[in-house]
Amino acid sequence: MAPFGARLTTAVSVRGPLCAGIDPHPGLLEAWGLPVDASGLERFALTCVEAMAGEIAVLKPQSAFFEAFGSRGIAVLERVVAESRDAGALVLLDVKRGDIGSTMAAYAQAYLADGSPLAADAVTLSPYLGFGSLAPALDLADRTGRGVFVLAMTSNPEGAQVQRALSDDRTIAQAMVDEAAARNAGASPLGSTGLVIGATVGDSGLDLAKLNGPILAPGLGAQGAGLAELRTVFGGALRHVLPASSRDILRHGPDVKALRAAALRVRDTLPVH
Give tens-digit pLDDT for 178-229: 999 999 999 999 999 999 999 999 888 999 999 999 999 999 876 678 888 8
Using CA atoms, how far apart are residues 17 and 129, in angstroms rounded to an integer?
30
Q: What's at 218, amino acid-wise?
A: P
Is this structure's pTM higher than 0.85? yes
Question: Could you confirm whether 96 is annotated as catalytic?
Answer: yes
Tell me if 31 sits within 8 A of 56, measured CB to CB: no
For the chain, the structural domain boundaries read 4-268
pLDDT of residue 273: 65
- Please tell me which residue in 60, 96, 210, 257 is annotated as part of the active site: 96
Using CA atoms, how far apart are residues 196 and 216, in angstroms rounded to an integer?
5
DSSP state of 170: E
Tell me if 36 sits within 8 A of 29, measured CB to CB: yes
Tell me if 172 sits within 8 A of 163, measured CB to CB: yes
pLDDT of residue 14: 97
The closest alpha carbon to 1, from 88, 114, 148, belongs to: 114
Percentage of the residues of the chain whose pLDDT score is greater than 90:
90
CATH number for the domain whose boundaries are 4-268? 3.20.20.70
Tell me if 153 sits within 8 A of 163, measured CB to CB: yes
